Amino acid sequence: MIPINNFNFVGEIGEGGMGKVYRYAHVRLNRDVAIKFLQPELSSREDLVERFKSEAIAQARMSHTNIATVYEFDQINDMFYMVLEYVKGETLDSVISKEGRLSWQIAVQYAIGILDGLDHAHSFNIVHRDIKPSNLMITEQKTVKILDFGIARILNTARLTKTRHAIGTLEYMSPEQIKAHETDARSDIYAVGIVLYEMLTGQIPFVKDTEFELQQAHINEKPKSPCTFSEEIPKEIARLVLKALEKNPEKRFSSAREFSEALRKQIAFAPPRFS
């Protein structure tokens, strides 16, 4: 337990690539928060601390239903931490593990929420770069909350010095990320395409034995249509998913908003029914 002024420790939430995340209760506001600490070895890097701070400031500017809010950035002794909205629910990763393939209506509704949050972030020139089910929380009200903006960039900075290769979550990385080319909002769109594919089918589009084979699949291999896995998935939904997964960013949706609007048209007459 790490004591912090004005906060009472509640428990440990989990651990990510950046460090451990704990649940605290704000004494005066009577509000639970999530506090994310930089790993000690990362805290010793001045460039990483500055990036962590700048990312926290950038995130704090954002205010959106589908993004976990950042409240504060601070340090205690030599430890740097970020105070975030505590999201009560479960990760999309957990939902898929338990339920397998989701109904196409629910999958599309979640994807729309992700895209709406990303559209807001992109309006601030903030690209997530690590959209994946474990970074997406499903609240008790069935709203999607995006977590961990900017963390991929921080970790990449730490590892590039040692490996000279960009590091990310390979299963959800766009071809341009794998090639270490410049990324923009369309890389997030590719990742949402992977996540939506997984929600619709219960599996990611590329399953390989080695990292190299997976990289090559993202760069060269055409994914199977989601319709291959279920006749219930509308062909137009499958087409939109495959458009998001185009190898060439120029052939994808130009923005998160364009993608979400296309999905909204398909779900307009078939709203999701949550159990």
* pLDDT tens for each residue of 64-117: 999 999 998 888 888 888 899 999 999 999 999 999 999 999 999 999 999 999
On whether 235 is known to bind a ligand per the annotation, the reply is no
Domain with CATH 1.10.510.10 in the chain: 89-267
Q: How far apart are CA 194 and CA 205, in angstroms?
A: 7
Return the CATH class of domain 7-85: alpha beta
Query: What number of other Cβ atoms are within 10 A of residue 6's Cβ?
Result: 10
- Quote the pLDDT of residue 165: 46
Q: How far apart are CA 74 and CA 6, in angstroms?
A: 13
Active site residue ranges: 130
| Percent with pLDDT over 90 in the chain | 63
Q: How far apart are CA 223 and CA 221, in angstroms?
A: 6
pLDDT confidence band for 275 (50 / 70 / 90)? low
Domain with CATH 3.30.200.20 in the chain: 7-85
- Quote the pLDDT of residue 151: 62
CATH 1.10.510.10 for the 89-267 domain, yes or no = yes
pLDDT-wise least confident of 38-52, 121-135, 138-152? 38-52
The yes-or-no verdict on residue 143 having pLDDT over 70 is: yes
Report pLDDT digits (tens) over 14-25: 876 667 899 999
The pLDDT of 185-197, averaged and rounded, is: 97
- Quote the pLDDT of residue 163: 43
Fill in the amino acid letter for 215. Answer: Q
The yes-or-no verdict on residue 138 having pLDDT over 80 is: yes
The yes-or-no verdict on residue 124 having pLDDT over 70 is: yes
CA atoms within 13 A on the CB side of 226: 32
The yes-or-no verdict on residue 200 having pLDDT over 60 is: yes
Report pLDDT digits (tens) over 154-177: 555 555 444 444 445 899 999 999
- Quote the pLDDT of residue 32: 95
Say if residue 199 is exposed, middle or buried (CB neighbours under 10 Å; 0-12, 13-18, 19+): buried
The set of residues, in sequence order, having a beta carbon less than 8 Å from that of 109 and lying 6+ positions away, is 142, 267, 271, 272
Look over the chain and give the mean of its residue pLDDT values, rounded to a whole number: 88
pTM across the whole model? 0.89
